[in-house]
Amino acid sequence: MKIVVIGGTGLIGSKLVAGFGEQGHEAVAASPNTGVNTLTGEGLADALTGADVVVDVSNSPSFEAAAVMEFFETSTRNLLAAEAAAGVGHHVALSVVGTDRLQQSGYFRAKSAQEKLIESSTVPYSIVHATQFFEFVRSMADAATDGGTVRFAPVLFQPIAGDDVARAVGRVAVGSPLNTMVEVAGPEQVRMDEFFRDALAERDDPREVVADASADYFGAELGERTLVAGPDAVLGEIRYRDWPGRTAPAK
């Protein structure tokens, strides 16, 4: 099976390409670094020739509202058109748990627009919603920092290891199109402020984590269960306390 991974040189994409290769599939890492640009269409037709499945795990280089909307709408339209022309039988996209609950955020409005384009396309599809990755702990803390204080809402949080995300997306990709959305999440739910307090302490990070009910996430207010998956979600196997990257030192 030929599987083209859009964003195939990134965090999740590189894991997918390696996993598909180990399973005996022809895995193509497609990104601007390899001559494939979904925004301009450059290299798309050649990359998709003979492809059975396309997995889109790409992300916008800018999270500014207009820029991120332009990225997801343009790249998704170009990708779906190229897939239809090439006869691709399955489009798989990685999105975020709670996207529909985070519409105050320009980023998540753009993710919703991406999903609507996929759902209205003629290409059979599967959308995988994942919770936040363990690998983003540092960047999330940095974004929530004000001076020496890190502010997080005391709401439920269910992060997941990138390896578990890649395995879940990979399983969906080699199966039949679902033509719906499925969720994947970490094996544990914890209070967001408590999680980051413990996570930063493990990294010997001196910043103080404060519970702040008004703290937002990418510009969106958070409710108790905004960021956690539903009861039918597929749960990852790796707990944060067992994740090798958890003790990476603070910058």
pLDDT of residue 78: 98
Please give the span between the terminal C-alpha atoms of the chain, in angstroms, as a whole number: 42
pTM (predicted TM-score): 0.95
SS3 of residue 99 by DSSP: helix
pLDDT of residue 248: 76
pLDDT of residue 33: 93
User: Which CATH number is associated with domain 2-247?
Assistant: 3.40.50.720
Residue 134 amino acid letter: F
Encode pLDDT of 57-74 as tens digits.
999 999 899 999 999 999
Domain boundaries, the chain: 2-247
C-alpha to C-alpha distance for 108 and 9, rounded to whole angstroms: 23
The rounded mean pLDDT for the chain is 96
Residue corresponding to tokens 């999680």: 195
C-alpha to C-alpha distance for 173 and 179, rounded to whole angstroms: 12
SS3 of residue 113 by DSSP: helix
Encode pLDDT of 95-135 as tens digits.
999 999 999 999 999 999 999 999 999 999 999 999 999 99
Which own/partner pairs from 28-35 qualify as long-range (CB within 8 Å, at least 24 positions apart)?
28/2, 28/3, 28/4, 29/5, 30/4, 30/5, 30/6, 31/6, 31/7, 31/58, 33/9, 34/8, 34/9
Band (75; pLDDT cuts 50, 70, 90): very high
pLDDT of residue 251: 52
User: Alpha helix locations (H) across the chain?
Assistant: 11-22, 44-48, 65-86, 106-120, 137-143, 162-173, 192-202
Mean predicted confidence (pLDDT) in 5-20? 97
Encode pLDDT of 152-193 as tens digits.
999 999 999 999 999 999 999 999 999 999 999 999 999 999
Tokens of 59: 């992300």
DSSP state, residue 41:
-
Q: Which residues contact 70 (CB under 8 A, 6 or more apart)?
A: none
Q: Which residues contact 116 (CB under 8 A, 6 or more apart)?
A: none
pLDDT of residue 22: 97
pLDDT of residue 168: 98
Mean predicted confidence (pLDDT) in 43-67? 96
